[in-house]
Amino acid sequence: MALAWRLCFPACRLIKRTKISKDRKTETMTALKPRASITSLIRYKPNLTTGRSGPVIRLSANEGALGPSPNAIDAMSRVMGEMHRYPSVDSSGLAEAIARKHGIDADRIVFGCGSDELISLVCQAYLEPGDEAIHTQYGFVMFPHATTVAGGVPVVAADNGFTVSVDNILDKVGPRTRIVFLANPNNPTGTYIPRDEVQRLRDGLRDDILLVLDAAYAEFVSRNDYADGIEFVEANENVVMLRTFSKLYALAGMRLGWGYMPHDVAAVLHGIKAPFSVSIPALAAGLAAIEDQAFEDRSLSHNRVMVDWTSQKLGELGLEVCPTVTNFFLTRFPDEQGRTAGECYAYCAERNILLRQMDAYGLPGYLRMSVGTEEEMQLVVDTVAAFLGQEPVSA
Ligand SMILES: *Cc1c(COP(=O)(O)O)cnc(C)c1O
């Protein structure tokens, strides 16, 4: 009897506890409320699957087409034995390597868990509740997202067609403006504004407004009138340039980004940042990747060839492809039922090809596609051809 009781007792207690905690949970669920200003964000979920099994051709996230540099993979495997240690950015040598490559000052580089972390930090550091941060109409979604999370108010400046309008940004500046976000080149439009226009923007802003130049796709741009932002950081006390290893360097899964900024801004961001948000493998992979010039050259020439080829083929199918300076582009689909962007998206997804819908940007008639391997691009143009009831065009 005693034994039975003893055997039973823990179980009984367990049951009772679960019950209590269940009741408590129900209670807290109703009592617990997130900040009212963020409730609109809670629905967000990144779309990285087609919902089907089997390998997916993912052209929805502007990732590297060729996979990471083999040197980056080697570098990561070499540091695996150190995984009991906390990462040390300072001893990784990555800031010095970046500084050498770009001719900049290593002390003014701040790393983040992706440049997304740096976008969030800038908002947390420079926005009082109710302060405004301007972003552009078809600008990167993280800008209004991070602004809102930090308690700020996102303000939208209309684009001029698919290109950023400096005049419209300047028109939106008010007494509470603290940050202007400019992705240059911009995602999802693939367009850029030249150096002169960035200069005109900086000149038109008050000194207490921080200009954040997000140059995530800078490496892909080969135009003489383009400036990635370094010269603006050097010349001003209120400009931050953001870069990422997620795109050309094909390390999106490692989460590594960096910003170049004035000393004061770097000190502020270091002050509020989680000290270990960049991992040991990310630091090692980043270092190997930027030192692998052959990989960079191969990726760039692959990208150029495939952007041209795919744009031409989609054009031959009667679709309008937006010119791009990046590794992705927008394609416009007809408004007719059976040929719409939404239906093409679904048709491709059923065949495990993942493109990006643009409804969230107010562009439901468009799909965004990033450059993949040659085979992937052939498959996608043939799939789009089949969707439109046309013969394969990849040959
Ligand atoms: C992909 C992208 C980033 C980079 O994000 P990570 O967090 O570094 O992966 C930043 N800005 C824009 C505009 C992008 O498209």
Domain boundaries, the chain: 57-62+294-387, 70-291
Q: Is 36 exposed, middle or buried, given 0-12, 13-18 or 19+ CB atoms closer than 10 A? A: exposed
Separation of CA 17 and ligand 1 centre (Å): 45
- pLDDT for 9 equals 45
Whose Cα sits closest to atom 12 in ligand 1?
Answer: 216
Looking at the chain, the whole-number percentage of residues with pLDDT higher than 70 is 91
Assigned token pair, 29: 């669920």
Fold match between 57-62+294-387 and 70-291? no
The atom number, within ligand 1, closest to the CA of 115 reads 8
- pLDDT for 395 equals 74
pLDDT digits (tens, 9 = 90+) for 332-346: 999 999 999 999 999
- Separation CA 388–CA 384 (nearest Å): 6
- pLDDT for 36 equals 87
pLDDT digits (tens, 9 = 90+) for 184-220: 999 999 999 999 999 999 999 999 999 999 999 999 9
Contact present, 142 and 148 (Cβ < 8 Å)? no
Helix, strand, coil % over all residues of the chain, rounded to 5: 45, 15, 40
pLDDT digits (tens, 9 = 90+) for 115-167: 999 999 999 999 999 999 999 999 999 999 999 999 999 999 999 999 999 99
DSSP secondary structure code for residue 87 in this structure: P
Which residues are within 8 A (CB) of 90 and not within 5 positions of it... i.e. 6 or more apart? none
pLDDT digits (tens, 9 = 90+) for 73-122: 999 999 999 999 999 999 899 999 999 999 999 999 999 999 999 999 99
DSSP secondary structure code for residue 86 in this structure: P
The atom number, within ligand 1, closest to the CA of 117 reads 7
- pLDDT for 44 equals 61
- Say yes or no to pLDDT of 28 above 90: no
- Separation CA 198–CA 196 (nearest Å): 5
Q: Which residues line ligand 1 (CB under 6 A)?
A: 62, 114-116, 140, 183, 187, 214, 216, 244, 246-247, 252, 257
pLDDT digits (tens, 9 = 90+) for 219-254: 999 999 999 999 999 999 999 999 999 999 999 999
Range of lowest pLDDT (22-26, 107-111, 272-276, 327-331): 22-26
- pLDDT for 128 equals 98
- pLDDT for 46 equals 64
- Say yes or no to pLDDT of 23 above 70: no
Assigned token pair, 295: 């990989």
- Say yes or no to pLDDT of 18 above 80: no
For 389, the 3-state DSSP assignment is coil
pTM, entire model = 0.91
Range of lowest pLDDT (31-45, 54-68, 112-126): 31-45
Which residues are within 8 A (CB) of 208 and not within 5 positions of it... i.e. 6 or more apart? 178, 238
For 385, the 3-state DSSP assignment is helix
Strands 366-370 and 239-244: unpaired
The pick from 164, 184, 187 for probing ligand 1's pocket by mutation, whose C-beta has the most ligand atoms within 8 angstroms, reads 187
Which stretches within the chain are classed as H helix? 2-31, 70-78, 89-92, 94-102, 115-126, 142-149, 166-171, 195-204, 230-235, 263-272, 280-290, 293-316, 341-350, 374-387
- pLDDT for 29 equals 59
Cα end-to-end span (Å), the chain: 81
- pLDDT for 315 equals 97
CATH superfamily, with its number, for domain 57-62+294-387: Aspartate Aminotransferase, domain 1 (3.90.1150.10)
Separation of CA 64 and ligand 1 centre (Å): 12
Contact present, 390 and 317 (Cβ < 8 Å)? yes
Residue 57 confidence class, pLDDT cut points 50, 70, 90: very high
For domain 70-291, give the fold.
Aspartate Aminotransferase; domain 2 (3.40.640)
